[in-house]
């Protein structure tokens, strides 16, 4: 099986496995325990958090400075950010006093939260995207001019999980800063693939999860800027200054720190390698299929993402046939591909119906090889020729 579904999850790095296994072999480790074993575990978690901060260009050791909140995954980080940003944002006041602004191509964890908030009577606005898949910044500017922007929370992903199209976060950040709106960025897909220096980008909250960059599943982070209040989602414990109660998974936190270090250490070289493989892969498919559509091809994209529509086929038939042929890929976000609904991302981009119904996502990683993409392209073309004939 050739694995081309790395935007869903990645192979864990063997070095990260070693870190996790070594920590688990230490024995019981609850960072909240007051005895020596607990204190030592707490120290290891604190050290891991500091190392993650260094990778992000953020000093997490400063009292009253930025914070890193540990969560169970990207979905929880996104929900915690959207529910808790600001002084009881989206709660505790008249519904119209708070506004949530999200792009129409966000991950299901963001759009699901927005739809739930909307059903409860909150003011929710959705930003359109261009045909190329980038958020229309002018639309955000227009929305912020219509409302009390100081009571607004904006959420835009750094790069789309289906198309790989990189979003104009610097412009959005500047606009939010000038208007007084809070900005949350879902950076789940971009860590290790795009520069991740937070100090150069004034945002209020950033979500990420290590299983997207060869780390463990079951742990994630939510970076919070200095001075930002965050209302917790959960009750029942005093961990993490009451912001996110629950026992911290020490081994997974250490694994996340090592995975992030590995992701950023050779980021430039890894990105060039993945971009070269992606272009080789797309050239092989495009050279054999005249009407092939590669979404976001003319935009800045993540180096390893190809979202491709195959004329004359449907995505479910292609997915099943490719799975049988030994190519692992997807028809969109892994959080919704089980039921395989039409891609809300491609619909928001205004793609023709044939392109929406035949879109397949292929995503590479730093462990992908030339042999992988060449063999996968051969298998994909064989399947396509059989299904489209």
Tell me which of 307, 329, 335, 351 is the catalytic residue: 335
For residue 101, what is the enclosing H or E element? strand 99-103
* Cβ pair 377, 284 in contact under 8 A: yes
Q: Would you give the DSSP letter of residue 315?
A: H
Place of tokens 């606005």: 125
Radius of gyration of the chain from its Cα atoms, rounded to whole angstroms: 21
Taking the C-alpha atoms of residue 224 and residue 204, their distance in angstroms, rounded to an integer, is 6
Name the token pair of 94.
């008249």
Q: Taking a C-beta distance cutoff of 8 angstroms, is the pair 267, 192 a contact?
A: yes
Q: Are 186 and 107 in contact (CB under 8 A)?
A: yes
335 is catalytic: yes
* 155 strand-pairing partners: 102, 184
* Distance in angstroms between the alpha carbons of the first and the last residue of the chain: 25
Cα–Cα distance measured from residue 75 to residue 86, given in angstroms and rounded to the nearest whole number:
19
For residues 266 and 153, give the distance between their C-alpha atoms in angstroms, rounded to a whole number. Answer: 34
- Active site residue ranges: 335
């Amino acid at each position: 099986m050739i694995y081309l579904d790395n935007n869903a999850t990645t192979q864990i790095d063997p070095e990260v496995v070693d870190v996790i296994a070594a920590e688990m072999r230490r024995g019981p480790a609850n960072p909240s325990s007051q005895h020596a074993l607990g204190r030592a575990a707490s120290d290891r978690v604190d050290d891991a958090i500091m190392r993650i901060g260094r990778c992000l260009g953020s000093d997490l050791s400063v009292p009253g400075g930025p914070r890193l909140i540990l969560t169970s995954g990207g979905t929880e980080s996104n929900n915690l950010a959207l529910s808790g940003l600001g002084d009881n944002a989206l709660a505790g006041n008249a519904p119209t006093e708070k506004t949530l602004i999200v792009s129409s191509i966000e991950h299901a964890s963001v759009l699901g939260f927005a739809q739930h908030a909307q059903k409860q009577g909150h003011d929710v606005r959705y930003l359109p995207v261009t045909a190329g898949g980038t958020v229309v910044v002018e639309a955000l500017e227009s929305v912020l001019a219509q409302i009390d922007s100081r009571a607004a929370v904006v959420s835009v992903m750094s790069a789309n999980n289906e198309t790989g199209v990189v979003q104009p976060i610097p412009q959005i950040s500047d606009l939010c800063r000038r208007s007084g709106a809070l900005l949350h960025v879902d950076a789940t897909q971009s860590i290790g693939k795009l520069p991740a220096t937070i100090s150069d980008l004034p945002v209020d909250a950033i979500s990420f999860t290590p299983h997207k960059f060869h780390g463990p599943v079951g742990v994630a982070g939510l970076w919070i800027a200095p001075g930002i209040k965050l209302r917790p989602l959960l009750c029942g414990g005093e961990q993490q200054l009451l912001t996110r109660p629950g026992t911290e998974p020490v081994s997974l936190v250490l694994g996340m720190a090592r995975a992030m270090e590995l992701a950023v250490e050779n980021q430039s070289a890894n990105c060039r390698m993945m971009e070269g493989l992606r272009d080789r892969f797309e050239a092989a498919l495009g050279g054999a299929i005249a009407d092939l559509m590669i979404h976001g091809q003319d935009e800045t994209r993540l180096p390893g993402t190809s979202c491709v529509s195959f004329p004359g086929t449907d995505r479910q038939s292609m997915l099943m046939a490719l799975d049988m042929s030994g190519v692992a890929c997807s028809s969109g976000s892994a959080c919704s591909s089980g039921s395989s609904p039409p891609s809300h991302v491609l619909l928001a981009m205004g793609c023709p119906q044939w392109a929406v119904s035949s879109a397949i996502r292929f995503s590479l990683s730093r462990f992908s090889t030339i042999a992988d993409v060449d063999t996968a392209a051969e298998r994909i073309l064989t399947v396509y020729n059989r299904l489209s004939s």
